[in-house]
Structure 1
Amino acid sequence: MATNCGGSVETVKKNKEDKKRLRKEIKVSHTLLRHEGINTVSFPTKNLAVANGGLGNGVSREQLLHVLGQCGHVECLLMPPNKPYAFVSYGTVKDARRCQTSLGGSHLLCQGQTITLYFCFVEKVDYNYNFTCSSIELPPGLKVLEDFVTSEEETGVLESLDWVSLNNDVTAQKSLKHRKVKHYGYEFLYETNNVDKDKLLPGGLPSACDFVLEKCLKENIINIKPDQLTVNQYQPGQGIPPHVDTHSAFEDTILSLSLGAKTVMDFRHPDGRSVAVVLPRRSLLVMKGESRYLWTHGITPRKLDVVPAVGGERPGVVTCDPRDLTLSQRDTRTSFTFRKVRHTPCDCGYPSACDSQQPCWTPPAPPLPRSDTDAAQLESRFVHAVYEEIAGHFSGTRHSPWPRVAAFLRSLAPGALLLDVGCGNGKYLGVRPDVFAGKMGNWGSQRPPASPASLIYGWYTKCTLNRLQDQVDAAVGCDRSQSLMQICAERGFQAFTCDALDVPLRSSVCDACISIAVIHHFSTQERRLSAIKELIRLLKPGGRALISVWALEQEYNKQRSKYLKKTKEENGCPGKDCGTIPPPQVHAGKDVSLVQNDQTTLSVHTNRTTFSSQDLLVPWHLKGVTQKSPEPPAHLTDSVTEPTSGPILHRYYHVFCEGELEDLCRKVENVTVQSSYYDQGNWCIILEKTDA
């Protein structure tokens, strides 16, 4: 009797596991259909979709092949870039079926996390995949010279560095947010993105690097010896924002030697073209002409790079070919960037991106709005138009979610429907990694495809929403910027374009809403209040909203905010804020108050200083972007005090004083304040919607 009872329990347990796996496979099928237009089939074939077995989950080609090979001969494995799934083709249907039954629901340890694999049959796998970026070539003037130094030479150069002692008079050593850095010859000043050409550091360039420069001269890579060196040390997960080295600061050719580890550097043209280039260990990157003057270059902060599976240690472009992609674990990399300081104005052939050739033009400052029409026009010029211009540059500087926002998102119950109003590049839409395909819930066979349209047009029935709560987390974003919404789409997020004052979703549909660094862009109290009311309208009773705005008090409880404390390597304000290149220092510690026709106008803020007014314009220095017309629009200016490498765009902000956000929220009906707090220069509040 005991044996029979034990067998029954085991059978029940097995049946539960089989049912759970079947539910997951159905969910995978609907996600593939919705996001990729890929139909799964109920009958066995040689081809399988591998859910959770993609590069986007941290699974490498080698690791997945090792697992899949246990079931038979793998003819082809497709791993699309940044996707959480892959496709495998076996030699026989029998092998594919063995894989589906024996490996479905199995666990895989990847990057310290346990991944569960699920498999669905597909009728065919398109081997002639349309590789939209497989023909991309290196930017003009860019070269990557492999094995430029030997292993012994690499060891000698790295051992010559002293990161322990801080002899700032010689090397101007700094610890920046994203890396450690040393300067030789001349110190690179992140305040101006330039060098002090009258202040030569003692000691010159280190003698350990002499052989590198002599080789460059001998092989005609350069015709004049560099006199400035910046050494950056990157740990895994660190990077550098996209930028163009200032034209007026340095001559044409720039050299960068990669030691210790390889990496992937991203290059982007002003027209939107982008190229990811593998920089192997001990290689020399040479940037001349267009690649030096026009294309931005940067390193995305991450611990894994997508690289070619064949020849991944060789220099070259990372294509979109899913037949030849895998992951590469980053290690400590030290780069040596050699440049020649320029002592005459730059006369390159790229005047639209050249700070030496930019005209000095200053627009009239706008007045404070007197009506809702005035406010809408001001926001159109100094918020909406600006973010359309800077979307790519802005997205390249926004990677890590704020910890307390991430904590709020992780506190949501399973199945919660989240809306991020003003989502930008969508960095908060991926905080919950437990959602397959990332971003929006899976709806089951009896539901319409999950999309913003289904929210907009009311396709969610009460029954549908109740079933959703038992199954998935769904995160949807919206933003006023079409360019940022395009970036969200490219990253696989569910997002749509709309105004935060008029979100085209049904009332009481969301379990949670967040508005991070958005409401401070509305230029009147009435419009800021309307934005909060719109958030509450979208919430279900009991739903919560997290709102953050920029604070007037950048020093609070005797603690300076990171905005004031951070080095000026990054011109970043909280949220949708300042760019990576600092604005001109007009009057330190003051906002420049402007008066026009006896009417007070907006002040122009000086970055990294305390605020002296609540309504102001904050500059963003745009790099590597061609102006669209010879007549600069009203929100563009150029620095008249320091040379820059691109136009300066001004964004409107209303910075909130202590208690102002709470007072505003108390004007909203059917809402209670759960908590409010100060977080690194921002006022934040969590609201709960009550029953009417």
Structure 2
Amino acid sequence: MDNNHQSNYKLKKTEKKFLRKQIKARHTLLRHEGIETVSYATQSLVVANGGLGNGVSRNQLLPVLEKCGRVDALLMPPNKPYSFARYKTTEESKSAYVTLNGKEIVDDLGQKIILYLNFVEKELYLSTTLRDTGAQWKELGPQVLPPGLMVIEEIISSEDEKVLLESVDWTEDTDDQNSQKSLKHRRVKHFGYEFHYENNNVDKDKPLPGGLPDIYVSILDKWLKEGYIKHKPNQLTINQYEPGHGIPAHVDTHSAFEDEIISLSLGSEIVMDFKHPDGVTVPVMLPRRSLLVMTGESRYLWTHGITPRKFDTVQASEGHKSGIVTSDVGDLTLSKRGVRTSFTFRRVRRTPCNCSYPWVCDNQRKERPPSFPESDKEACQLEQEYVHRVYEEIAGHFSSTRHSPWPHIVAFLKALPSGSIVADIGCGNGKYLGINEELFMIGCDRSQNLVDICRERRFQTFVCDALAVPVRSGSCDACLSIAVIHHFATAERRVAALQELVRLLRPGGKALIYVWAMEQEYKKQKSKYLRGNKIGQGKKVEINSDTPAQGLLVEQMLDIGHENSVDSVPSINDFQEGGCHSRKVITAKLPIHTNRTSFYSQDVLVPWHLRGNPDKDKPVEPFGPVGSHDPRPVFHRYYHVFCEGELETACQTLSDVTILQSYYDQGNWCVILQKV
């Protein structure tokens, strides 16, 4: 082959490869976002890979687009890896389509990405779908903060900011009296009282020597005099955050601190997310040198947290500082984070909390606060007792209730190329292993009894722990993790389980992950898990579930007189008073969840009411004392239910991973990630 033919061959090969990727981008947009492209030229283009969600800012993308013509509008939805550009004329959009398709640019993180453009109708991005992007932000009305929340800009001068930052001596001995500590992702110092992160509380009987330094006391006195705060704090936590770090969503413990909590932001601006239990999220911009004051509902009911990322989505227009980051897709861009130091002041509570939110108040619920594992060893013990052992005992009954595959999971498997190697990590009874016969699927589970059921169905399965899968790295085209990761008892172990999924994937491989959601009502949709169901003459039926909404599919699972149908059962209170045969429930110090109700704690024990005897030759042995013969034992499974954004946050801590899609599916938070 001569040089000309060789060059032409390479060119055609490159063109074919580009065309395949462009078609793939078009299909991905349609399948995951409902964005339909057209084959003819219009004034409007969708730019795949050119979005805020994958690190491309408005200031970076707009000049590239404007080289091809006059851009009438650039719409950039928050957290999406695409944008919409509308040109003045069709000829200009044609020029962009030809010139920019396949163009390589460097995003704001310094990574190379390739743009793929397709034509769309103008009406598309004005559709209900796009207008509703971030609609939950608008439910409180424009520029309305959560009740009781206040942001005061320029609370101190730049000179005072410098003095305050220089007053923090991070070089001091870590054992000094001011309780300086270094957490995994940030440096921390405490004054007045040490804040204990393992239980989000303070030891009220052990104040730190010296109290608050005079420099901070004088500032607090000034704020009191000016009316910005009503009470003088006596506890201070100073945190220093590097770009890319954050804090999980949380509510400051009611019994630990009084109503007013204030936080001074120095060094860099940040977006803090406030989330209501019903799913409404309000991203609030905290400018540099601003004071955040939380009282009332915003302090007691809403969670607040900072997503770990290096850029925040903010308003592009000049003059916009504090307040809600709106969902105006025509006015959003990225803001690069810097080193931020926060000074959080609180007043230690000396009397019981009597707030107006008793259902989330640790004082008024009269429950012992959850005792989280303090070591990996304790976490392993908890999982062994309340996950592994339970599933071994209930495997037969569990499998008998697992019939109907979930549509989104089926769609994920059906969309994979023929011949793909897929691993289902935590496969249970293997109900997803035979969905697509064009795939080569293997499954694994920690339960020997569940794996035995899979093998009876002639599936390729084996027993292993999800933290150590004996499969070669980079050998899988896709992985499933359905209702598994929420069984790990610490954040570190949950991230390790995600990392193990990524290890198995080849570059470009995808993983679909499902976990239980804290929010069983989201965007005005109530999960089926919360809905009461009746059969026959008003008989209430309680079905166990491995995902919240999956449990009560009465039409598909039960018939009157069927051997797996169930009778009415006592309330959870009855079991707590002695009828329960789950061992060590009391010593676990975790709240027992009431089935078919909302979650009020992220770490819970969920009852499984065993019905019948799947193995008639082997009597069921409950976890109770020897000699117990209750024919209907109750077992308890440990769950960490995820708040909105928590699963994405955990995924973002992984290297070489991009999140393709995140969504809510009937009581579950779900993510599709890709190894890059």
- Which TM-score tier does this pair reach, normalised by the shorter chain? 0.5 to 0.7
Secondary structure in 2 aligned to 1:328?
Answer: strand
In structure 2, what is the Cα distance between the partners aligned to 1:99 and 1:149?
47
Deviation track 1:501-558 (CA, whole Å, cap 9, x = no partner) reads: 433743665456676xxx45x5xx4235446888x8268xxxx99842599xxxxxxx
1:439 corresponds to which residue? none
| Amino acid across the alignment from 2:117 | F
In structure 1, what is the Cα distance between the partners aligned to 2:369 and 2:252?
24
2:466 to 543, 548, 572: 548
Equivalence map 1:196-595=2 (5 Å): 196-311=203-318, 314-360=321-367, 375=394, 452-453=409-410, 465=418, 501-503=430-432, 505-506=434-435, 509-511=438-440, 519-520=445-446, 525-527=448-450, 529-530=452-453, 537=459, 547-548=465-466, 572=491, 574-575=493-494
In structure 1, what is the Cα distance between the partners aligned to 2:290 and 2:455?
53
The answer as to whether partners of 1:51 and 1:84 remain within 8 angstroms in 2 is: yes
Deviation of the 1:310 alpha carbon:
2.1
In structure 1, what is the Cα distance between the partners aligned to 2:387 and 2:29?
50
2:41 pairs with 1:38: no
Deviation of the 1:55 alpha carbon:
1.5
The size of the alignment, in residue pairs, is: 484
The answer as to whether partners of 1:140 and 1:290 remain within 8 angstroms in 2 is: yes
Deviation of the 1:300 alpha carbon:
1.5
2:73 corresponds to which residue? 76
1:141 to 148, 154, 169: 148
The answer as to whether partners of 2:255 and 2:352 remain within 8 angstroms in 1 is: yes
The 1:351–1:598 alpha-carbon spacing in structure 2 relative to 1, beyond 3 Å, is closer
| Amino acid across the alignment from 2:69 | G
| Amino acid across the alignment from 1:602 | R
In structure 2, what is the Cα distance between the partners aligned to 1:126 and 1:204?
56
Deviation of the 1:314 alpha carbon:
0.7
2:189 pairs with 1:182: yes
The answer as to whether partners of 2:212 and 2:235 remain within 8 angstroms in 1 is: yes
The answer as to whether partners of 1:368 and 1:600 remain within 8 angstroms in 2 is: no
Secondary structure in 1 aligned to 2:177?
Answer: helix
2:584 to 574, 585, 603: 603
Moved more, 156-165 or 500-509: 500-509
Deviation track 1:398-443 (CA, whole Å, cap 9, x = no partner) reads: xxxxxxxxxxxxxxxxxxxxxxxx99xxxxxxxxxxxxxxxxxxxx
Secondary structure in 2 aligned to 1:250?
Answer: coil
The answer as to whether partners of 1:156 and 1:208 remain within 8 angstroms in 2 is: no
Deviation track 1:444-493 (CA, whole Å, cap 9, x = no partner) reads: xxxxxx9644577x798xxx615xx6xxxx989899xxxxxxxxxxxxxx
Secondary structure in 2 aligned to 1:168?
Answer: coil
| Amino acid across the alignment from 2:432 | V
The answer as to whether partners of 1:32 and 1:39 remain within 8 angstroms in 2 is: yes
The 1:202–1:368 alpha-carbon spacing in structure 2 relative to 1, beyond 3 Å, is closer
Secondary structure in 1 aligned to 2:418?
Answer: helix
The answer as to whether partners of 1:276 and 1:318 remain within 8 angstroms in 2 is: yes
1:126 corresponds to which residue? 125
In structure 2, what is the Cα distance between the partners aligned to 1:241 and 1:504?
34
In structure 2, what is the Cα distance between the partners aligned to 1:280 and 1:223?
22
In structure 1, what is the Cα distance between the partners aligned to 2:80 and 2:11?
31
In structure 1, what is the Cα distance between the partners aligned to 2:589 and 2:468?
12
The answer as to whether partners of 2:428 and 2:450 remain within 8 angstroms in 1 is: no
2:113 corresponds to which residue? 115
Deviation track 1:319-378 (CA, whole Å, cap 9, x = no partner) reads: 333222222222111100001111111111111111121225899x99999999962699
The answer as to whether partners of 1:56 and 1:82 remain within 8 angstroms in 2 is: yes
In structure 2, what is the Cα distance between the partners aligned to 1:309 and 1:300?
20
Moved more, 13-22 or 194-203: 13-22
Secondary structure in 2 aligned to 1:465?
Answer: coil
| Amino acid across the alignment from 2:119 | F
Report the identity percentage.
47
In structure 2, what is the Cα distance between the partners aligned to 1:116 and 1:326?
19
Secondary structure in 1 aligned to 2:450?
Answer: helix
In structure 2, what is the Cα distance between the partners aligned to 1:26 and 1:550?
37
Higher relative contact order structure (alpha carbons within 8 Å, sequence separation ≥ 6) = 1
The answer as to whether partners of 1:508 and 1:537 remain within 8 angstroms in 2 is: no
The 1:602–1:621 alpha-carbon spacing in structure 2 relative to 1, beyond 3 Å, is closer
| Amino acid across the alignment from 1:36 | E
| Amino acid across the alignment from 2:118 | C
In structure 2, what is the Cα distance between the partners aligned to 1:78 and 1:368?
46
The answer as to whether partners of 1:133 and 1:320 remain within 8 angstroms in 2 is: no
Deviation track 1:285-328 (CA, whole Å, cap 9, x = no partner) reads: 11000000111111111222222222586112223332222222
Secondary structure in 1 aligned to 2:231?
Answer: coil
Deviation of the 1:58 alpha carbon:
1.0
In structure 2, what is the Cα distance between the partners aligned to 1:597 and 1:342?
35
1:99 to 65, 71, 96: 96
The 1:285–1:596 alpha-carbon spacing in structure 2 relative to 1, beyond 3 Å, is closer
The answer as to whether partners of 1:76 and 1:88 remain within 8 angstroms in 2 is: yes
| Amino acid across the alignment from 1:105 | G
In structure 2, what is the Cα distance between the partners aligned to 1:217 and 1:292?
19
Deviation track 1:627-681 (CA, whole Å, cap 9, x = no partner) reads: 679xxx9849xxxxxxxxxxxx97449xxxxxxxxxxxxxxxxxxxxxxxxxxxx
Structure 1: runs of 5+ lacking an equivalent: 385-421, 424-449, 480-497, 552-569, 580-594, 607-616, 637-648, 654-692
In structure 1, what is the Cα distance between the partners aligned to 2:396 and 2:293?
46
| Amino acid across the alignment from 1:97 | K
Structure 2: runs of 5+ lacking an equivalent: 371-381, 470-488, 498-514, 517-575, 608-634, 640-676
The 1:451–1:187 alpha-carbon spacing in structure 2 relative to 1, beyond 3 Å, is closer
Deviation track 1:565-616 (CA, whole Å, cap 9, x = no partner) reads: xxxxx9546239999xxxxxxxxxxxxxxx999998523597xxxxxxxxxx
In structure 1, what is the Cα distance between the partners aligned to 2:438 and 2:213?
63
The answer as to whether partners of 2:189 and 2:238 remain within 8 angstroms in 1 is: yes
Moved more, 368-377 or 250-259: 368-377
| Amino acid across the alignment from 1:200 | P
Q: State the superposition RMSD in angstroms.
A: 4.5
Deviation of the 1:25 alpha carbon:
2.1
Q: After TM superposition, what 4+ stretches of structure 1 lie above 6 angstroms from structure 2?
A: 365-374, 377-380, 474-479, 531-534, 576-579, 595-600
In structure 2, what is the Cα distance between the partners aligned to 1:159 and 1:96?
53
The 1:303–1:476 alpha-carbon spacing in structure 2 relative to 1, beyond 3 Å, is farther
Deviation of the 1:271 alpha carbon:
1.8
In structure 2, what is the Cα distance between the partners aligned to 1:504 and 1:155?
60
Deviation of the 1:70 alpha carbon:
0.8
In structure 1, what is the Cα distance between the partners aligned to 2:637 and 2:319?
42
Deviation of the 1:227 alpha carbon:
0.6
Secondary structure in 1 aligned to 2:67?
Answer: helix
In structure 2, what is the Cα distance between the partners aligned to 1:315 and 1:279?
6
The answer as to whether partners of 1:242 and 1:297 remain within 8 angstroms in 2 is: yes
